[in-house]
Structure 1
């Protein structure tokens, strides 16, 4: 928001974008793809991380991890549903990958494992997906209907990829959706910021964890 020309922001607001959010009575948290395949091991540079896993985001992931951990703790404290997604690499052998990325690291050991900071607990759902959106050909929608979820909070990786695809589909299915900006990360800061702006304008409300906690 600090980079955009004020005149453009004013135009968006006159058109009815950038305003308002609603956290419903029965929200659920979607933690999108926060596995080692998208983080890389702790302490690696970005170049080192992508040598380990071509899809890794490196330092940006680990800088964001404490916020993701606190967000998960918030939902656990409320007893609200939490869904963790990760790539179904076995299914992708038959369906094709989620992007045009040609890297081979997705089959490497540890790719789909969760860092301890955001690891699912027993009884929390780990949803495998073959494409970018957590909704695409998965049982996510009937689960949300069954649980009477009325709004979604989304965090994870990458802001410009699987997070955005999931948020667009959530909006399409009629869910009021909140993206927690400091609990999302991307391999590109520019792409992270641009996609947060677009999601906030069109498909979701973008809030910090602090703003969400105060809501």
Structure 2
């Protein structure tokens, strides 16, 4: 019996999260340090695929009025930072460094709630949850990078805030494919529905037409 079969036998992943009455989108760390190859962490193929697909998603979502929260990671200096073990983060993710600028393909400063986060999750120490509360969001769509770090942390916080959480696989990316796949599989067993861009676009279309209803509640 494989480990995957053992998880399934113990009921992991049996109950889908589903979708609710109103979506919101978080865009995690699509800053130039991750999306431009001139920087040490930039240009990973899975991240670039996710960037392109997220840009497609956001074009549709903004036209429909879906709330969007967009973040980068930046610090004043190393003293402000957590104890990062990544040299490139310590050296480049600083407020005076061009790598912290949002990639223009996914950023609309006149539309997006913009936050600068100091930790892996977009929710930690920011007002994103308050923004979604005001907007009556109950379903969070997680996009960005990296899957094994900030996407995982954001997804767990979204779950912890009691949002239905969707992670479209082709709208998130990582430096290597194996951690990308492993972390999505693990998140999907416990906390989120791992879907794809087309699933999310179909959900947004139903929501925009007023044809959505929340998934049935499951008793414990």
TM-score in terms of structure 2 length: 0.82
How far 1:142 moved relative to its partner?
Answer: 1.7
Query: Counterpart of 1:118 in 2: which secondary structure?
Result: coil
Corresponding residue for residue 34 of structure 1: 30
Corresponding residue for residue 131 of structure 1: 119
Structure 1 gap segments, 5+ residues each: 41-48
How many angstroms apart in 1 are the aligned matches of 2:25 and 2:83? 22
**1:99, 1:132 within 8 Å by CA — same for their partners in 2?**
no
How far 1:158 moved relative to its partner?
Answer: 0.3
* Residue among 92, 96, 112 paired with 2:81: 96
Q: How many residues are matched?
A: 199
How far 1:35 moved relative to its partner?
Answer: 0.8
Corresponding residue for residue 104 of structure 2: 116
**2:75, 2:81 within 8 Å by CA — same for their partners in 1?**
no
How many angstroms apart in 1 are the aligned matches of 2:54 and 2:86? 26
Structure 2 gap segments, 5+ residues each: 204-220
Deviation digits for residues 62-82 of structure 1 (CA, Å, limit 9, x no counterpart): 233221111112311321100
**C-alpha distance 9-212 of structure 1, shift in aligned 2 (>3 A):** farther
Corresponding residue for residue 74 of structure 1: 60
Corresponding residue for residue 46 of structure 1: none
Query: Counterpart of 1:18 in 2: which secondary structure?
Result: coil
**Bigger mean CA offset, 94-103 vs 143-152:** 94-103
Alpha-carbon RMSD across the aligned residues, in angstroms, is: 2.0
How many angstroms apart in 2 are the aligned matches of 1:198 and 1:126? 29
**1:28, 1:80 within 8 Å by CA — same for their partners in 2?**
yes
Does residue 81 of structure 2 align to residue 86 of structure 1? no
* Residue among 170, 176, 182 paired with 1:182: 170
**1:39, 1:58 within 8 Å by CA — same for their partners in 2?**
yes
Corresponding residue for residue 55 of structure 1: 41
**C-alpha distance 94-26 of structure 1, shift in aligned 2 (>3 A):** farther
Query: Counterpart of 1:95 in 2: which secondary structure?
Result: coil
